[in-house]
Chain A
Amino acid sequence: MEKIVSHTGIGVPLRQSNVDTDQIIPAVYLKRITRTGFEDALFAGWRRDENFILNQEPFNAGSVLVAGPDFGTGSSREHAVWALKDYGFKAVISARFADIFRGNSGKQGLVAAEVAQSDIELIWKELENNPGTEVTVDLDSRTVQCGSISAPFQIDDYTRWRLMEGLDDIGLTLQHEGDITEFEAARPSHKPKTLPARFAD
């Protein structure tokens, strides 16, 4: 994973709550077996509407999405994060993120910055009044900067550290493989195994 400490880019105001992952990437795009190339799938339904924010300049070149509360609800599809990243987004700002989406973002180097809704309202106004205004998301100071607005954001320490160091989760866990083996040796014998397969008839 690439390290990310701070990012500055055009902010995109998305005045909508409950942006679920079916909107971020409709199910029809989940049939692909690759991990990249999802930029066309991002908000595919909404992008058919020419008034949608990502169909307008300069927002189409945005890299910081500023959305309403409960962003990323619904399906666990990590494709939602891949689509945002493939389009060019480096950070999403919302007052509240769905747990699985937030976790997926952290694994893929997309910053999910939790900002108070009152600050988001100010940032929305700034971005709408001055399209093209850049937003800085700084993990080091945990602040979001947009024009004259400066707002703190929440992100858990562990995710922040991993993002800033660009660490691979599996590699980190495998440092403790001995602990996993030890745990496995002590599991009760009644725990089910999928193999050998047993059937009802």
Chain B
Amino acid sequence: MSATQSPQTLAEKVWNAHVVRRGTGEGEARQPDLIYIDLHLLHEVTSPQAFEGLRLAGRQLRRPDQTIATEDHNTPTLDIDKPIADLTSRTQINTLRENCKEFGVRLHSLGDKEQGIVHVVGPQLGLTQPGMTVVCGDSHTSTHGAFGALAFGIGTSEVEHVMATQSLSLKPFKTMAINVEGTLKPGVTAKDIILAVIAKIGTGGGQGYVLEYRGSAIRALSMDARMTICNMSIEAGARAGMIAPDQTTFDYVNGRPHAPQGQDWDAAVEEWKQLHSDEGAQFDAEVFLDADELEPFVTWGTNPGQGVSLSASVPTPEDFEDENDRKACERALEYMGLTGGTPMKEIRVDTVFLGSCTNSRMEDLRAAAAVIKGKEKDPDVRMIVVPGSARVRLEAEAEGLDQIFKDFGAEWRFAGCSMCLGMNPDQLSEGERCASTSNRNFEGRQGKGGRTHLVSPLVAAATAIRGTLSSPSDLVNTSVAV
């Protein structure tokens, strides 16, 4: 990079460092760039057809040493030592095992210490590092952007393309800065930031963009919290979200199994320190959010943009000017079984789900455990806790968090995607209402007819105590009143 080069954004720096071949042409007619992929993550759902494609074409997996697989979407969270009861799930898992064996891919299977949700496993092994390009046949690959990596979800055709070529043909993304300045109030978390961002720019607001989260409120966040934010970039329509790496990032990576060592570490950190948007770099769009103003945020509807502050009420269709939004509101209220004007805090839930690639890391479990410790669960609420990985589960048990959850009456499960999308037996039943720390409140996402409210781990924990959507501050009020 010469001194005269124009200022670049973080996303542009990572992009430019991975161009194998520039697309020819200008403007709209420009062909895509061929971008090199540093790390390819695989799981059982979106890979079988890609492996089959390779086989049919007689192609090799180009870089087994930059590929890693885990079992997460289908895996049961109970009785993991027994054969998987659902035959189609079992077949899909077995297919992954056979494919990994045939193509020489490292696989962490159910029962293995490193098994877990693919987006929890990569960072925890130290395989996700600043400045990398990371892809996976899963839209929540945006999670890895928390390290200053360019990470995004791809479809199965692209999975096959990366398997065969370790690269992807891509048109450059536009860039959007999400500036979050200020200090979060106690009880307000990364989850509330991202839910507020999505409500602000909409589920399509980020389409075509890489989001870069910036500002003092972002800098102050831990890596676990940064991953929560980048994870849900896709819910704003953005394929990727990024945060510039800093000392917090380096400290997280340092010492992990696949972190660079010795001289490599020093060289890596020198390089990583350059990974920030330059002074004067131009973003195609900018959004500003005041961290001081934020409150716990929850969704009322059937897409992640349909959210409000926990202290607000369910909107009515008349609150929306646009006809399509009004209709979407009507439909969502009907599906969710809600009446406009109802205070969010009066909504009673049946289930609390603490888990998913959004909120299943140590910090999430610790935060929820701190709220429920010594408290009683609402007897009519079931709470399921699913650590993001087997490693997280072990760490939590070493800290005694499992006992806190069990004493409270919550179910302490084995790692996986679980009730986030209900591909395994963990599903909501028709009409069942859930406060969920996951990422999607789509119709039927957690089970046919299930009703989802997206919440932070703190809100999930407080809700399990009170039985209605609540934040930890509501618990303080309760005890004062009593």
| A residues lining the B interface (CB < 8 Å) | 15-18, 20, 22-23, 26-28, 30-35, 45, 68-70, 73-79, 81, 96-100, 103-104, 107-108, 156-158, 169-170, 172-174, 176-177, 179-180, 183-184, 187-195, 197-201
A172 to B161, CA, bound (A): 10
Which of A32, A100, A108, A177 has the most C-beta atoms of chain B within 10 angstroms of its own C-beta?
Answer: A100
Q: With A76-B46, A96-B204 as given contacts, are A183 and B106 in contact (CB-CB < 8 Å)?
A: no
List A contacts of B161 (CB < 8 A).
169-170, 173
Choose the segment among B5-13, B310-318, B436-444 that binds chain A (4+ C-beta atoms closer than 8 Å): B436-444
Contact with A along B221-259 (1 / 0, CB 8 A): 000000000000011011100000000000000001111
Q: A23-B443, A104-B156 are in contact. List 9 more A-B contacts (CB 8 A).
A: A77-B45, A81-B155, A170-B160, A170-B165, A179-B21, A190-B267, A193-B66, A194-B65, A199-B257
A191 to B423, CA, bound (A): 34
Q: Is B116 an interface residue when CB atoms closer than 8 A count as contact?
A: no
Q: Is B39 an interface residue when CB atoms closer than 8 A count as contact?
A: yes
| B residues lining the A interface (CB < 8 Å) | 20-21, 23, 28-29, 31-32, 34, 36, 38-39, 45-46, 48-49, 52-53, 57, 59, 62, 64-68, 73-74, 86, 88-89, 91-92, 95, 106, 113-114, 125-127, 129, 132, 137-139, 153-158, 160-161, 164-167, 169, 171, 202-204, 207-208, 234-235, 237-239, 256-260, 264-265, 267-268, 271, 303, 305, 324-325, 327-328, 331, 391, 421-423, 440, 442-445, 448
From the candidates A16, A31, A81, A191, name the one contacting B92 in the complex (CB within 8 A): A31
A16 to B160, CA, bound (A): 32
Considering only CB atoms, which chain B residue lies closest to A75 in the complex?
B139
List A contacts of B238 (CB < 8 A).
99
List B contacts of A197 (CB < 8 A).
106
Q: B203–A73 contact, CB under 8 A? A: yes
From the candidates B67, B237, B443, name the one contacting A98 in the complex (CB within 8 A): B237
11 A-B contacts (beta carbon < 8 Å): A32-B88, A35-B52, A45-B443, A70-B207, A73-B204, A78-B137, A96-B207, A98-B204, A100-B153, A100-B154, A194-B127
A18 to B198, CA, bound (A): 14
A173 to B164, CA, bound (A): 9
Q: With A17-B324, A27-B421, A188-B271 as given contacts, are A194 and B66 in contact (CB-CB < 8 Å)?
A: yes
Minimum C-beta distance from A188 to chain B (A): 7
Q: A45–B264 contact, CB under 8 A? A: no
Q: How many A-B residue pairs have CB under 8 A?
A: 221
Which of B113, B234, B256 has the most C-beta atoms of chain A within 10 angstroms of its own C-beta?
Answer: B234
Q: A107–B171 contact, CB under 8 A? A: no
List B contacts of A69 (CB < 8 A).
204, 324
List A contacts of B29 (CB < 8 A).
157
Which of A69, A77, A97, A189 has the most C-beta atoms of chain B within 10 angstroms of its own C-beta?
Answer: A77
Considering only CB atoms, which chain A residue lies closest to B62 in the complex?
A180
Minimum C-beta distance from B233 to chain A (A): 11
Minimum C-beta distance from B19 to chain A (A): 8
List A contacts of B169 (CB < 8 A).
158, 169, 172-173
List B contacts of A81 (CB < 8 A).
155
Q: B324–A68 contact, CB under 8 A? A: yes
List A contacts of B154 (CB < 8 A).
76, 100, 103
Q: A99–B257 contact, CB under 8 A? A: no
Q: B448–A45 contact, CB under 8 A? A: yes
Q: B92–A200 contact, CB under 8 A? A: no
Considering only CB atoms, which chain A residue lies closest to B41 in the complex?
A194
- Top 9 A-B residue pairs of the complex, sorted by shortest distance between their CB atoms: A107-B157, A104-B155, A78-B155, A33-B48, A76-B153, A190-B264, A190-B260, A198-B257, A31-B88
Q: With A22-B443, A99-B207, A99-B237 as given contacts, are A180 and B391 in contact (CB-CB < 8 Å)?
A: no
Q: B155–A100 contact, CB under 8 A? A: yes
Minimum C-beta distance from B207 to chain A (A): 6
Minimum C-beta distance from B314 to chain A (A): 18
List A contacts of B327 (CB < 8 A).
15-17
Considering only CB atoms, which chain A residue lies closest to B323 in the complex?
A121
Q: A200–B257 contact, CB under 8 A? A: yes
Q: B165–A26 contact, CB under 8 A? A: no
List A contacts of B264 (CB < 8 A).
189-190
List A contacts of B271 (CB < 8 A).
188, 190
Minimum C-beta distance from B455 to chain A (A): 19
Minimum C-beta distance from A17 to chain B (A): 5
List A contacts of B74 (CB < 8 A).
31
Q: With A22-B443, A158-B171 as given contacts, are A169 and B328 in contact (CB-CB < 8 Å)?
A: no
Q: A27–B49 contact, CB under 8 A? A: no
List B contacts of A177 (CB < 8 A).
165
A37 to B303, CA, bound (A): 28
List B contacts of A75 (CB < 8 A).
138-139, 421, 440
Which of A28, A31, A74, A189 has the most C-beta atoms of chain B within 10 angstroms of its own C-beta?
Answer: A31
